[in-house]
Amino acid sequence: METLSTHKAHGGVQGVYRHASAATGTDMIFSVYVPPHAAGAKLPVLWYLSGLTCTHANVTDKGEYRRACAEQGVIFVAPDTSPRGEGVPDDEAYDFGQGAGFYVDATEAPWTSHFQMRDYIERELPELIAAEFPADLARQGITGHSMGGHGALTVALRNPGRFRSVSAFAPIVAPSVVPWGEKALAGYLGTDRAAWRRYDACALILDGARVPELLVDVGDADPFLHEQLRPELLQAACDAAHIPLTLRLQPGYDHSYYFVSSFLADHVAWHALRLKA
């Protein structure tokens, strides 16, 4: 692991790091904020998965989470959204290819050789975080924005018992039935819709996956609300499965980091309450 930068913030350290990933076959960059803590202490971890077109830098620069993490004693980890670099396939559209990994393990050429983001997020990066940082992986939470909200929900649902807390900002809750998701899942996984279900939060819940509870914030001025996000589908799935869902439709907020940064500290505190229990 190579350290690219470190800065002191709110008594802790905000770092950006790079490592050679076996899962993606590329170098991957991620950021980690470690709050102030006693020597030898192990701290709970909150994962943040970013959305379309983003890297680790979007939330690191705009998220406004460090004060809350310092107050709550929570490590904040923000990986990239896809493999990148020479020889990595890409697409001209913003919603497919580099910057749009959708947190899947691709099975279709030419994506399969590098786009193994599920393996990277679920296995490889947690192993690195546990080895290099004072992280207690018995106390993990996960959240994310948009495509990353989709990732947070599906990672948690596929790994029962791993995460004590799960939340999302404007998540794509049913990618199998919305344009962003249909394009991505068909491109990475092929046309067999049965293979898509493991990457669709509503389908996973319908198929029996469960989490203890969910917190979801969506802006009612989000231009993607009705076509791409469809939070009412998650509400219906959770109601049918008796999963407690707190769905907050925030008046006047859009899809941007002005929205995310307004409520991210609130999410950090919500996760911390459950991670410390």
Pick the catalytic residue: 114, 150, 255, 271? Answer: 255
Residue 125: CB atoms within 10 A of its CB come to 21
User: Which whole number is the average pLDDT over 81-105?
Assistant: 97
DSSP 256: S
Nearby residues of 108 by Cβ (< 8 Å), 6 or more positions away: 187, 188, 189, 190
Q: Residue 99: name the closest of 129, 119, 79 by CA.
A: 79
**Per-residue pLDDT at 277:** 84
Structure tokens at 71: 């107050």
For residue 246, count other CB atoms closer than 10 A to its CB: 12
Structure tokens at 37: 């803590």
Q: What residue segments make up the domains of the chain, in order of their start?
A: 2-276
Would you call 146 a catalytic residue per the annotation? yes
Cα–Cα dist 264/262, whole Å: 6
β-bridge mates for residue 79, sequence order: 30
Answer yes or no: is pLDDT of 107 > 90. Answer: yes
Q: Please pick, among 21, 82, 146, 167, the residue that the annotation labels catalytic.
A: 146
Distance of alpha carbon 221 from alpha carbon 219, whole angstroms: 5
Start-to-end CA span in the chain (Å): 32
Closest to 49 measured CA to CA, from 122, 106, 114? 122
Catalytic residue among 80, 95, 105, 222: 222
pLDDT, tens digit, for every residue of 235-256?
999 999 999 999 999 999 999 9
Predicted local distance difference test score (pLDDT) of residue 113: 96
Amino acid in the structure at residue 4: L
CA distance 105 to 118: 5
Cα–Cα distance measured from residue 63 to residue 60, given in angstroms and rounded to the nearest whole number: 6
Nearest by Cα to 202 from 229, 221, 222, 163? 229
> According to the model, what pLDDT value does residue 1 have?
95
% of the chain residues with pLDDT over 90: 100
pLDDT band with cut points at 50, 70 and 90 for residue 224? very high
Q: What is the pLDDT of residues 133-163, one digit of tens each?
A: 999 999 999 999 999 999 999 999 999 999 9
Domain 2-276 in CATH 3.40.50.1820:
yes
Task: Examine the pLDDT at 223 and tell me if it is beyond 90.
Answer: yes
209: left (phi over 0), alpha (psi -120 to 50) or beta: beta
Average pLDDT in the chain = 98
| Phi, then psi, of 17 in degrees rounded to 5 | -135, 160
Which tokens sit at 230? Answer: 């469809």
Q: CA–CA separation, 260 vs 207, rounded Å?
A: 30
Residue 67 has pLDDT above 90, yes or no: yes
Q: What is the pLDDT of residues 258-272, one digit of tens each?
A: 999 999 999 999 999
C-beta separation of 154 from 200 below 8 A: yes
Q: Vertex 85, ends 111 and 153: CA angle to 5°? A: 55
Which pLDDT does position 250 carry in this prediction? Answer: 98
Contact indicator for 86, 32 with CB cutoff of 8 Å: no
